[in-house]
Chains A and B, each alone.
Chain A
Amino acid sequence: MKKNEERILKYISDQLTPKEKIIFEEELKKSDQLKRDYDNIKLQLDDLSIGNELGTNEIYFSNLLPKVYQKIDQKKKFRKFGPIYYLVPTFSAVVVLFLFIFNNKTTNDTGYKDLANEVVNNLSDQEVSDKYLTELETDPANYVSNQNNDELSVQIPSDLEVSSDSYTRLIGNPLANEFSTLRNLSDNDLETVYEKLNSTTSQKVQ
């Protein structure tokens, strides 16, 4: 069957050459096996064919045309007012998008951009060095005290004793500075601390 099936299907689908077709038809007359296989395949295919004999509900076909006209009318109406249906949500979406983009730009970028522009456009390297770095390098204590003037006016008890270990610990851990009472010392105490600190660092360096 398998051997004949390929040839039979080629014959049915008209894939044989005219010469092959004549040979096949001759063989079909002579070979009982080929004839049986051919009839069997034909039967299977005919079994699947559907003619006009199917009993259908004719009301469906009678109602089809009114349904189609109804849809055509709906489409005509939509074409007339269609642009409005599309324009309103599209316009709203565009407005929301613009608001989102510009809001984001003003809140996040403007500060950085202004600062960057000021540095790039208005200050030369020399000016930056003179104005900010020199002051910081030559008198850092004064620079810091100018910045934190209000906080330095708080008085610290005069009997406060600070062990030399504490200075080392402060230098070793700059983070501790943030939470210490160092920034609350009076000018005199601060000078003492500064001197002791200075001597401790020089000892460490030596």
Chain B
Amino acid sequence: MQDNDFDLIKRFLSGEEVAFNLIVKKYQKKIYWHARQMMGNHLDADEVTQEVLIVIFNKLKNFNFNSSLYTWIYKIVTTRSLNQIRKKQIKRFFSIDDNDGDELQDKHDIVEELDSKEKLEKVKKVLQKIPPKQRQIFIMRNFEDLSYEEISEITGKSVGGLKANYFHALKKVLELTNEKK
């Protein structure tokens, strides 16, 4: 997979734009779903996804081939998602963005099946109540099956710190799911 990714990057750097299209096709869903779980809604996730793809296009020339493309992309997604959350918190503080506009979200949402929607809503209600950094590690461990070492490479945090963070995230998630019962 890594060789294939490196090959795609080299082709892109030599001017083959189609190589970028292949990178996007390969990673766009992973990018979107990480952003979606972090943000809790489609419109913000869409904004983050597009932003990430633009960053990849512009910064791919600086890729140093020391890490995998997957890890490099993940670094961008996690940073941009956290930034977007901060931006939203600031907007909410100044009452520029006082609600999520549920009707608008529904209209644009790409999840169409009712069962999927219900499940997503259930997860959202829990995840949006835990701190963003705990949410981030919970998503990476539970939904994306990443190892602590991979998460450490992406976030730049120690494995020990990540384990502690994940422990607190799990505790909070259980508290919230038990509250509902």
Contact = CB atoms under 8 A, between A and B. Distances in A.
Interface residues of B, number: 39
A56 B116 CA distance: 9
B110, B111, B112 — most chain A CB neighbours (10 Å)? B110
A44 B49 contact: no
B82 interface: no
Contact of A64 (B53, B113, B143, B177): B53
Interface stretch (B72-80, B87-95, B99-107, B164-172): B164-172
Contacts of A61: 28-29, 32
Given A9-B171, A13-B166, A13-B170, A50 B21 contact: no
B120 interface: yes
A44 B177 contact: yes
B19 to A, nearest CB: 13
B146 interface: no
A12 B168 CA distance: 11
A5 B126 CA distance: 19
A50 B121 CA distance: 11
A68 B163 contact: no
B57 A68 contact: yes
Given A50-B119, A72-B54, A9 B167 contact: yes
Contact of A15 (B21, B58, B164, B173): B164
B24 interface: yes
Contacts of B174: 5, 9, 41, 44-45
B116, B120, B148 — most chain A CB neighbours (10 Å)? B116
Interface in B134-156: 142-143, 148
A55 interface: yes
A61 B110 CA distance: 9
Contacts of A57: 110-112
Given A55-B113, A57-B112, A71 B167 contact: no
B21, B28, B37, B58 — most chain A CB neighbours (10 Å)? B28
10 tightest Cβ-Cβ pairs between the two chains A and B = A55-B113, A13-B167, A57-B110, A60-B110, A54-B116, A13-B166, A68-B53, A56-B110, A9-B170, A55-B116
26 contacts: A5-B171, A9-B174, A10-B167, A13-B163, A13-B164, A13-B170, A15-B164, A44-B174, A44-B177, A45-B142, A45-B173, A47-B177, A48-B123, A48-B142, A50-B37, A50-B119, A50-B143, A54-B113, A55-B113, A55-B115, A56-B112, A56-B116, A64-B50, A65-B53, A67-B50, A72-B57
Interface of A: 5, 9-10, 12-15, 41, 44-45, 47-50, 53-57, 60-61, 64-65, 67-68, 71-72, 75
Given A56-B116, A57-B111, 17 more contacts: A9-B171, A10-B167, A12-B170, A13-B167, A47-B177, A48-B122, A49-B143, A50-B120, A50-B123, A56-B112, A61-B28, A61-B29, A64-B53, A65-B28, A65-B53, A68-B54, A75-B54
